[in-house]
Amino acid sequence: MASKLKDLPIGVQTFREMIESKFLYVDKTREIYDLVSKPKAAYFLSRPRRFGKSLLVSTLESIFKNERELFKGLWLDSSDYEWREYPVVKLDISAVDKNSVEELREGLKLAVLDLAKAYAVTLEDTQSPVRLFQTLIRELAKKYDAKVAVLVDEYDDPIIKHISNPELALQMRDLLHDFYKIIKSEDANIRFVFLTGVSKFSRTSIFSGFSK
């Protein structure tokens, strides 16, 4: 008797749910190994929506959080990848309020404070989101004596949302530019960077200060 086919993971965007609920998963960990096995790396993935970017970000999060039990039977588990836990700063920018620049600023601030709370790191909530982001990375690196993995999903969502309002879109871009430049300034405390979005670097100029 033929074995029952696994259910398709329609709408599933987290690796843990994919594995624990036994959805069909096409093993891509051989390719992911090429990303995570380097001692230090930064990547950017620009693809249309529904391409699987969020699931990839979630998979990277599970790897850097050392959730090896989820990878049992997958290629990565039997590879020479050096499993260890790293603090992970994962930001889903599509989930941040962004109807105005002030909303985006407050949304980024709350997102960073939520991460700090999850790691039991105390931050001064009167600081700007840029300063909070920088302090969080430094405090996590110090607390865990390990460099930080930074994962940003839908980095350009506030710009895309207001693409028909060029003035507001530019204001959103400027705020995001200041926020993301912390990734470069905190390079010494960062082990891995992965960002996803719909638009390319050259279209947003958000990362004009980054090394290409």
Task: Decide if 3 is inside a domain.
Answer: no
Task: Decide if 208 is inside a domain.
Answer: no
- For residues 201 and 195, give the distance between their C-alpha atoms in angstroms, rounded to a whole number: 11
Task: Decide if 39 is inside a domain.
Answer: yes
29-50 pLDDT per residue, tens: 999 999 999 999 999 998 767 6
Higher pLDDT, 204 or 85: 85
Q: Which domain holds residue 167?
A: 15-200
Among the ranges given (48-57, 137-146, 178-187), the one the predictor scored with the smallest mean pLDDT? 48-57
In the predicted model, is pLDDT for residue 211 greater than 60? no
In the predicted model, is pLDDT for residue 4 greater than 90? no
68-86 pLDDT per residue, tens: 999 999 999 999 999 999 9
Residue 15 has which token pair? 């690796």
Specify the pLDDT at position 146. Answer: 97
Task: Decide if 123 is inside a domain.
Answer: yes
Q: What's the CATH code of the domain at 127?
A: 3.40.50
- The two counts, helices (H) then strands (E), for the chain are 8, 4
The total of structural domains in the chain comes to 1
In the predicted model, is pLDDT for residue 212 greater than 50? no
- For residues 136 and 142, give the distance between their C-alpha atoms in angstroms, rounded to a whole number: 10
Task: Decide if 36 is inside a domain.
Answer: yes
Task: Decide if 5 is inside a domain.
Answer: no
**What is the reported pTM?**
0.89
Task: Decide if 160 is inside a domain.
Answer: yes
Task: Decide if 143 is inside a domain.
Answer: yes
Query: How many Cβ atoms are within 10 Å of 61's Cβ, its own excluded?
Result: 20
